[in-house]
Amino acid sequence: MPSVHKREVDPNGIDQHTEGAKLDGDKPDASLLLMFGKALLAVAEVGTFGARKYSRGGWQSVANGEERYTAALLRHLCKGGDEDLDPDSGLLHDAQVAWNALARLELRLRREEREDQQG
């Protein structure tokens, strides 16, 4: 993903050198994620289960991670049509789908960042 330099602005039009200025006008509003508190906790439960079963952060080192997390995402998506809970973890298949989608996305963004840095 090519990095695009955006001009930072204060959302209230305040000059950056004026007291009270904050150059966050064009930045993503991460507080919107708080609207998904229950869903994010369900995804955190999946991550916690995985950290106990394997290792904390070990998912980042899985060989062919993007492909394998895509496969896991699709397995949970398909199984979620027949059953709500994953028999292994006892957690919602939907939460497993979301966790795998986040893992896949994170690995992709990191790969693209490395590729951009290498030229």
What are the boundaries of each domain within the chain? 33-118
pTM for this one?
A: 0.83
Percent of the chain exceeding pLDDT 90 equals 75
Q: So what's the pLDDT on residue 11?
A: 83
Contact 48, 56 (CB under 8 A): no
* pLDDT of 84 strictly over 60: yes
Tokens of 58: 């070990």
Q: Which residues of 49-88 are buried (b: 16+ CB within 10 A; e: fewer)?
A: bbeeeeeeeebeeeeebbebbbebbeebeebbeeeeebee
Q: Pick the more confident residue, 21 or 105.
A: 105
